[in-house]
């Protein structure tokens, strides 16, 4: 049916996690009528009460406005919620299978089987979740097996938003990728993304398989840059260099670019680790091993494993030492802990005999076994008070502005291990710290 107003288009979002909630809220902001469904009743109850279950800058406010203006609602699954929709988005999780590199597609196939009986004729089923090549086709088969004769489209529309900047990334993306198999699906997505086209955002229309591959290949490439920077950082330490200048010098080459070349404690999060593993798994399965990405996965594992021995080297030994860990989220401006380096470092430090406390502006230890091994400090100052050493793990803005002299005075020891290279060696030395950055010699 031809409709002139965006508000006449009804969208149902399946999955109200980081991607579903941000995408649903932003689509409501664009004017669509959005209903977000999740099988997690607690999550939906919080959302119905106007509380976001995740921390994402700008999201609470934007969500509140869309709810107040009647364009955004939340519910647990109900058949009518799908039957109403012109577009059903799937934004459920695709984690690794336990003990395996393979992507676990249980949630996506279950969600497909749930929505298939209720899809209205002409509906677009839009797959936002990151899935291996061929999954969109499998989804199409599941629906047409359940609904022979139904006209519908399945569209691969991978999401590139970054946690911590998700709202901004959704509203101002570098590009939008749409993989579709028919003209009706393409026309549907042209409607959804019309305002982006008008703002000259590149929209790449391609096949579903290409769209699926683009998402994994993009994440694999970014992860490769991080792993490369980490390897170069180690080399700098051994060769008497300073990785800060080295990556700056590399990144000034326009063909390389400066982003994703900062060394650190290894990448974590809900995407790079599982997506690099899935990419490796797909390559092996199809007889085209992705050897570069295999190395990236191994390098990153080693890196996270080595964090505690770096701390032990700086301290002589961890036994009996009180160590303050600053930041446990896998990156700043998020409360996401999935595969965060902290989850490896804290248990290893405790096993080595250290007493660990941590402070993070957004993450609470509640129910997270690895964090419960440590004591949670209520502030940066409380974490530092009387500590033998500081380990800076996540580059929250608050940790860029530490009053170094006051910090040193409140501590018992003087060791400062900076896995994010946030500080100048001179300032650290002046404040009396034994400073251990990464990728250059310590300043003692």
Q: Active-site residue numbers?
A: 271
Using CB under 6 A, count the residues that bind ligand NAD. 29
How long a stretch of residues is the chain?
A: 444
Does position 143 bind ligand NAD by CB under 6 A?
A: no
Residue list, annotated binding site = 38, 43, 94, 130, 160-163, 215, 260-264, 268, 274, 331, 338
String marking each residue 74-93 x if it binds ligand NAD according to CB under 6 A: ---x-------------xxx
Q: Which residue, 36 or 374, has its beta carbon nearer to ligand NAD? A: 36
Hey, CA dihedral for 228, 234, 235, 241, is it positive or negative?
positive
- Phi, psi at residue 368, to the nearest 5°? -95, 105
| Binding-site member from 11, 14, 85, 391 for ligand NAD (CB under 6 A) | 14
Does position 335 bind ligand NAD by CB under 6 A?
A: no
- Provide Rg for the chain, Cα atoms: 24
Only segment of 4-12, 106-114, 198-206, 374-382 that touches ligand NAD (CB under 6 A): 106-114
User: Which residues, 27 to 66, sit near ligand NAD by CB under 6 A?
Assistant: 37-40, 43
Does position 130 bind ligand NAD by CB under 6 A?
A: yes
Taking each helix axis from N to C end, the angle separating 291-315 and 342-351, rounded to the nearest 10 degrees, works out to 40
Residue list, annotated binding site for substrate = 160-163, 215, 260-264, 268, 331
3-state secondary structure of 1: coil
Nearest distance from C-beta of residue 388 to ligand NAD, angstroms: 36
Q: Which of 159, 107, 103 is nearest to 274 (CA)?
A: 103
| Binding-site member from 114, 184, 201, 373 for ligand NAD (CB under 6 A) | 114
Does position 105 bind ligand NAD by CB under 6 A?
A: no
Hey, CA dihedral for 391, 392, 394, 397, is it positive or negative?
positive
Q: Which pairing describes strands 415-418 and 389-392: parallel, antiparallel, or unpaired?
A: parallel
Q: Which pairing describes strands 203-206 and 322-326: parallel, antiparallel, or unpaired?
A: unpaired
| Binding-site member from 9, 10, 12, 19 for ligand NAD (CB under 6 A) | 19
Nearest distance from C-beta of residue 333 to ligand NAD, angstroms: 12
Residue list, annotated binding site for NAD(+) = 38, 43, 94, 130, 163, 274, 338
| Binding-site member from 96, 107, 207, 362 for ligand NAD (CB under 6 A) | 107
User: Which residues, 358 to 417, sit near ligand NAD by CB under 6 A?
Assistant: none
- Helix runs in 240-335, H state only: 243-251, 272-285, 291-315
Nearest distance from C-beta of residue 338 to ligand NAD, angstroms: 8
User: Which residues, 256 to 285, sit near ligand NAD by CB under 6 A?
Assistant: 270-271
Are 71 and 173 in contact by the 8 Å Cβ rule? The answer is: no
| Binding-site member from 35, 85, 111, 222 for ligand NAD (CB under 6 A) | 111
Are 371 and 296 in contact by the 8 Å Cβ rule? The answer is: no
Are 320 and 353 in contact by the 8 Å Cβ rule? The answer is: yes
Does position 15 bind ligand NAD by CB under 6 A?
A: yes
Nearest distance from C-beta of residue 78 to ligand NAD, angstroms: 11
Q: What secondary structure does DSSP assign to 204-216, as a single string? A: EEE-HHHHHHHHH
Partnered with residue 177 across adjacent β-strands are 204
Class of residue 250 by CB neighbours under 10 A (exposed 0-12, middle 13-18, buried 19+): middle
Only segment of 123-131, 292-300, 318-326, 400-408 that touches ligand NAD (CB under 6 A): 123-131
- Phi, psi at residue 423, to the nearest 5°? -115, 155
Cα(159)–Cα(211) distance, rounded to whole angstroms?
10
| Residue whose C-beta lies closest to ligand NAD | 17
Nearest distance from C-beta of residue 136 to ligand NAD, angstroms: 13
Cα(299)–Cα(229) distance, rounded to whole angstroms?
11
Nearest distance from C-beta of residue 92 to ligand NAD, angstroms: 4
- Helix runs in 286-397, H state only: 291-315, 342-351, 369-372, 380-384
Q: Provide the phi-psi class of 95: left if phi over 0, else alpha when psi is between -120 and 50, else beta.
A: beta
Give the 3-state secondary structure of 318-365: CCCCEEEEECCCCCCCCCCCCCCCHHHHHHHHHHCCCEEEEECCCCCC
Does position 306 bind ligand NAD by CB under 6 A?
A: no
| Binding-site member from 17, 179, 327, 437 for ligand NAD (CB under 6 A) | 17
Nearest distance from C-beta of residue 192 to ligand NAD, angstroms: 17
Question: What is the binding site for ligand NAD (CB under 6 A)?
Answer: 14-20, 37-40, 43, 77, 91-94, 107, 110-111, 114, 128-130, 159, 161, 163, 270-271
């Amino acid at each position: 049916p031809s409709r002139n107003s965006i508000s006449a288009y009804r969208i149902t979002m399946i999955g109200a996690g980081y991607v579903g909630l941000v995408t649903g809220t932003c689509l409501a902001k664009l004017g669509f009528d959005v209903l977000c469904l999740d099988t997690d009743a607690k999550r939906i109850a919080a959302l119905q009460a106007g509380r976001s279950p995740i921390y994402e800058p700008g999201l609470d406010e934007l969500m509140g406005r869309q709810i107040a203006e009647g364009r955004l609602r939340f519910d647990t699954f109900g058949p009518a919620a799908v039957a109403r929709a012109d577009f059903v988005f799937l934004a459920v999780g695709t984690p690794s299978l336990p003990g395996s590199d393979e992507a676990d597609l249980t949630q996506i196939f279950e969600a497909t089987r749930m929505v298939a009986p209720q899809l209205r004729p002409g509906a677009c089923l839009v797959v936002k979740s990151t899935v291996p090549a061929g999954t969109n086709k499998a989804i199409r088969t599941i629906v047409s097996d359940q609904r022979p004769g139904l006209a519908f489209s399945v569209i691969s529309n991978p999401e590139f938003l970054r946690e911590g900047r998700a709202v901004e990334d959704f509203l101002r993306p570098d590009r939008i990728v749409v993989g579709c198999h028919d003209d009706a699906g393409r026309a549907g997505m042209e409607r959804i993304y019309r305002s982006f086209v008008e703002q000259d955002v590149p929209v790449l229309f391609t096949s579903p398989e290409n769209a699926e591959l683009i998402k994994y290949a993009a994440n694999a490439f970014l992860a490769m840059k991080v792993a490369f920077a980490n390897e170069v950082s180690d080399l700098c330490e051994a060769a008497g260099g300073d990785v800060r200048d080295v990556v700056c010098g590399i990144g000034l080459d326009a063909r390389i670019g400066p982003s994703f070349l900062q060394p650190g404690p290894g990448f974590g999060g809900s995407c790079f680790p599982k997506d690099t593993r899935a990419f490796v798994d797909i390559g092996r399965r199809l007889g085209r091993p992705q050897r570069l990405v295999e190395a990236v996965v191994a390098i990153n594992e080693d890196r996270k494993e080595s964090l505690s021995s770096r701390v032990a080297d700086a301290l002589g030994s961890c036994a009996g030492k009180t160590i303050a860990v600053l930041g446990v989220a896998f990156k700043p401006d998020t409360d996401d802990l999935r595969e965060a380096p902290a989850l490896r470092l804290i248990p290893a430090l405790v096993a080595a005999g250290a007493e660990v406390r941590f402070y993070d502006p957004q993450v609470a230890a509640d129910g997270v076994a690895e964090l419960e091994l440590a004591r949670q400090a209520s502030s940066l100052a409380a974490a530092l008070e009387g500590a033998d050493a500081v380990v800076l793990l996540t580059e929250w803005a608050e940790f860029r502005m530490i009053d170094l002299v006051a910090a040193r005075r409140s501590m018992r020891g003087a060791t400062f291990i900076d896995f994010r290279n946030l500080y100048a060696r001179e300032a650290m030395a002046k404040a009396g710290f034994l400073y251990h950055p990464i990728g250059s010699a310590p300043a003692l």
